[in-house]
Copies of this chain bind each other. A is one copy, B any other.
């Protein structure tokens, strides 16, 4: 069970680490963080630096592909080497998935044309520019083994669904217990439709 996360400078750490923390518990899981070369990769905040476990070139197949987002994803939308790699891995995968603006990379690779998909709320127009129809759901599963999820933290919810698909419901429930995922956010501000105008204005002003 090979689970591959492509990483690149400017990726959002939680996009990758959220689903990683679930999927690594799959029976026989072999996790690969693959990057253009083996030099350390730094996230979008410039503070978390991860050492890739393989190069993209050496990573030729995946059972599960999880593409994280972040400003680095947007910067790579014209990176034909990365997009071609995504297409090649998708041809081998059971599930090709994305978190947050990782879906833009799937779109740029041509994998979302004519499909429903989701992304971070700030990236809807770009997503639709690739022929996808934005669906305001947390996790969107489509034919062809493609699953996209919404912003950053949604990757945890997606990974639990993937775990059920790959190892059954009891296993997925066990993984939820293992990470004690009984979310109790102190506010109800996690989506555009729920957040206050003040909260939106705060982000805009940053």
Contact = CB atoms under 8 A, between A and B. Distances in A.
Interface string A149-186: 01111101100110010000111111011111111111
A190 B177 contact: yes
A51 interface: yes
Q: How many copies does the complex hold?
A: 2
A13 interface: yes
A64 to B, nearest CB: 14
B185 A198 contact: no
Interface in A10-68: 12-14, 17-18, 20-21, 24, 31-33, 40, 45, 47-51, 53
Interface residues of A, number: 64
A183 B180 contact: no
A184 B138 contact: yes
Interface in A102-124: 120-121
A92 interface: no
In order of increasing CB-CB distance, the 5 nearest A-B pairs are A151-B180, A182-B190, A173-B189, A183-B183, A174-B202
Interface of A: 12-14, 17-18, 20-21, 24, 31-33, 40, 45, 47-51, 53, 100, 120-121, 138-139, 150-154, 156-157, 160-161, 164, 169-174, 176-187, 189-192, 194-196, 198-200, 202-203
